[in-house]
Structure 1
């Protein structure tokens, strides 16, 4: 599994779909990433386990919140879940660009 590259990711939140472009670079069992979205840019890092990526991100817009990502990569598709703190979960879908 190689998640390396650029991805367009959509998170289906209660506030509507949130889109971002993410660049991922794996190295063994870890990876680094940079996300760009209308809510701002952020760097993050996470873990690789087989075809699954996990990471968390602290956001401040539209409110302070820690997002916890769990995404599976299959070829040029990414699917998964984002834990939205006290606001439940939201599905994640992505395509390599």
Structure 2
């Protein structure tokens, strides 16, 4: 199953549910893309890796505060589930569907 494409995602943050999109372009065992949301703007995917149906990546958030985000997700058909680790805020659930 290919994770290529755009995904509508929601992350359950301490500030409430934050919705946006994540784009995924697979390049061998790596992927590039970006997360875009009204609150955080566009965050490029860094270190995107894919292993079967598992995606892992990092992003450098600058707003509302600077922070490194570590993401991981499992793709199953047209759904994505996982989590985003945000420093001292811990892990936050991520869910999504193919756009």
Instruction: Output the TM-score relative to the length of structure 1.
Output: 0.94
Aligned length: 97
Instruction: Output the TM-score relative to the length of structure 2.
Output: 0.93
Post-superposition Cα deviations, 1:4-24, rounded to whole Å, max 9, x if no partner, equal 011001000111011111211
Q: Which runs of 5+ in 1 are unaligned?
A: none
RMSD: 0.9
Q: Paired residue for 1:28?
A: 28
1 CA distance for matches of 2:65 and 2:54?
A: 28
Q: Paired residue for 1:44?
A: 45
Post-superposition Cα deviations, 1:73-94, rounded to whole Å, max 9, x if no partner, equal 0000000011011111100001
Q: Secondary structure at the match of 2:45?
A: strand
